[in-house]
Chain A
Amino acid sequence: MSELGFTFAVLGAALAAILPGMGSAEGVGIAGQSAAASVSEDPSSFAKVLVLQLLPGTQGIYGLLISFVTMSQIGLLGGDANMSLAKGLAYLAACLPIAIVGLISAKHQGRVSVSGVQMLAKRPDQFGKAMIFPAMVETYAILALLISLLAVNGVAGLTTI
Chain B
Amino acid sequence: MAGEPYVYAVTRVRIHEQHLLKHQDMDALSAAENVGEALNVLSGKGWDVRLSPADMIERELEKTWALIAEAAGDIAALYVFRCARDFHNLKAAVKLVYLAEPALDRERYFLPYGAVPVARIIAAAENQNFGSLPDALAVPGKAAWETLKATGNGQLCEIIVDRAALEETYKAGEASRIPLLQRYAELTVDAANVLAAMRCQKLGRDRSFLERVLADAGRLSKKDLINAALGDEQEIPQFLRSTPYAAAAAALNESPSAFERWRNIEFMNLIQPQRGAISGVEPLAAYILARENEIRMVRLILSAKINQLSRDSLQERLGRTYV
A residues with CB within 8 A of B: 26, 30, 33-34, 36-38, 40-42, 111, 114-115, 117-118, 121-122
B157 within 8 A of A: no
Are A111 and B4 interface neighbours, CB within 8 A? Answer: yes
Are A115 and B12 interface neighbours, CB within 8 A? Answer: no
User: Which of B7, B14, B16 has the most chain A CB within a 10 Å cutoff?
Assistant: B7
**0/1 per residue, B1-26, Cβ < 8 Å to A?**
00110011111101111100000000
Task: Place the interface of chain B in its size category.
Answer: 10 to 19
Are B12 and A37 interface neighbours, CB within 8 A? Answer: yes
The 6 closest A-B pairs by CB, nearest first: A37-B11, A33-B7, A34-B11, A121-B15, A33-B8, A41-B15
**In the bound complex, how far is the Cα of B12 from the Cα of A40, in angstroms?**
8
**In the bound complex, how far is the Cα of B295 from the Cα of A109, in angstroms?**
37
Task: Find the B residue at minimum CB distance from A40.
Answer: B12
- Residues from chain B with a CB closer than 8 A to the CB of A26 are 3
Provide 18 A-B residue pairs closer than 8 Å at the C-beta atoms, listed in order of the A residue. Answer: A30-B7, A33-B4, A34-B278, A37-B8, A37-B10, A37-B15, A38-B15, A41-B12, A41-B16, A42-B15, A111-B278, A115-B278, A117-B11, A118-B278, A121-B14, A121-B15, A121-B18, A122-B17
**In the bound complex, how far is the Cα of B279 from the Cα of A30, in angstroms?**
10
How many A-B pairs fall under 8 Å by CB? 51
- Residues from chain B with a CB closer than 8 A to the CB of A34 are 7-8, 10-11, 278
- Residues from chain B with a CB closer than 8 A to the CB of A121 are 11, 14-15, 18
**In the bound complex, how far is the Cα of B7 from the Cα of A118, in angstroms?**
10
- Residues from chain A with a CB closer than 8 A to the CB of B14 are 118, 121-122
B71 within 8 A of A: yes
Q: How close is A24's CB to chain B, nearest CB, in angstroms?
A: 14
- Residues from chain B with a CB closer than 8 A to the CB of A122 are 14-15, 17-18
**In the bound complex, how far is the Cα of B3 from the Cα of A35, in angstroms?**
17
Are B4 and A114 interface neighbours, CB within 8 A? Answer: yes
Q: How close is B18's CB to chain A, nearest CB, in angstroms?
A: 6
Are A114 and B17 interface neighbours, CB within 8 A? Answer: no
Task: Find the B residue at minimum CB distance from A49.
Answer: B11
Are A114 and B279 interface neighbours, CB within 8 A? Answer: yes
Q: How close is B63's CB to chain A, nearest CB, in angstroms?
A: 14
Q: How close is A118's CB to chain B, nearest CB, in angstroms?
A: 5
- Residues from chain A with a CB closer than 8 A to the CB of B11 are 33-34, 37-38, 114, 117-118, 121
Q: How close is B15's CB to chain A, nearest CB, in angstroms?
A: 4
**In the bound complex, how far is the Cα of B7 from the Cα of A149, in angstroms?**
35
Q: How close is A125's CB to chain B, nearest CB, in angstroms?
A: 13
- Residues from chain A with a CB closer than 8 A to the CB of B16 are 41
Q: How close is A51's CB to chain B, nearest CB, in angstroms?
A: 16
Q: How close is B1's CB to chain A, nearest CB, in angstroms?
A: 9
Q: How close is A126's CB to chain B, nearest CB, in angstroms?
A: 13
Q: How close is B120's CB to chain A, nearest CB, in angstroms?
A: 32
Q: How close is A152's CB to chain B, nearest CB, in angstroms?
A: 31
Task: Find the B residue at minimum CB distance from A39.
Answer: B11
Known: A37-B71, A118-B278. A30 touches B4 (CB 8 A): yes
